[in-house]
Amino acid sequence: MKTVSENAAFGGTQGVYTHASEVCGCDMTFAVYTPPQAKAGPVPVLWYLSGLTCTHENAMTKAGAQAWAAREGIALVFPDTSPRGEGVANDEAYDLGQGAGFYVDATETPWSPHFRMWSYVTEELPTLLFRNFELEEGAQGITGHSMGGHGALTIALTYPDRFKSVSAFAPIANPSNSDWGRKQLGAYLGAESAAWHAHDSSLLLREKGWKGQLLIDQGANDQFLDLLKPEALASAIAERRQPATFRMQPGYDHSYFFVASFMEDHVSFHAEALYA
């Protein structure tokens, strides 16, 4: 692991790091914010997964999460959204290839050699983090925006014993039935839609439920509502009778102005669960 930069922030440290990923077969970059409380020992950690076209940097610089994380005493992890670099497959479209890993392990050509973001986020990167930072492995939460909201929900629903809390901002909620999903899941996992089930949060929630409370924020003026399909997730919550706070926020769109506006609520939501 190599340090790219470290900056003092709200009494803690915002760092950016790179490492050679065996899972993705390329160098990967990620960011970690450690709050001032980490100087005294391990602290809970909140994963933040970003959306299409993003890197580790978008949420790190635009979400305003560090101030609230410092107040609550939790660390933040910002992974990249895909493998990158020479020899890594890509596509001319913004919603496939580099910047659009969709948090799955690709099985199809030409994506399978590098696009293994599910294993990267759930296996390789956690191992690296807990070996090198003052993080409490037994107190993890996860959140994300758009494609990252999809990733946060599907990962938490698959690993309920690992995560104590989950939330999402404008998640791609029903990718099996959306052009933001069918295209990517078909490309990465193949045309057989049965393989997509494990990566559709509306289907997973209806099947498994979640052990605690969910927090979902969705902008009512989001320009991508037809692609996100929040109504599918709301329906799954109702059918499952899942304890949840699902908020359609009037006037808000899909941007980081929306994310930053409600970040304090989400960090507080996770801190309450992580310190319980």
Catalytic annotation present for 254: yes
Annotated active-site residue in 146, 165, 178, 202: 146
What number of H helices and E strands is found in the chain?
Answer: 10, 9
What strand order describes the sheet that includes 244-249?
A: 2-9, 12-21, 26-34, 75-79, 43-49, 135-144, 163-169, 214-219, 244-249
Helices (H), the chain: 57-62, 65-72, 117-119, 125-132, 147-158, 179-189, 201-208, 225-228, 230-240, 256-274
What is the distance between the alpha carbons of residues 30 and 12, in angstroms, rounded to a whole number?
17
Among 200, 198, 202, 197, smallest CA distance to 233 is for 202
Catalytic annotation present for 176: no
For residues 78 and 59, is the Cβ–Cβ distance under 8 A? yes
Annotated active-site residue in 199, 200, 222, 270: 222
Catalytic annotation present for 146: yes
Annotated active-site residue in 114, 254, 266, 270: 254
Among 9, 66, 74, smallest CA distance to 37 is for 74
Residues with catalytic roles: 146, 222, 254
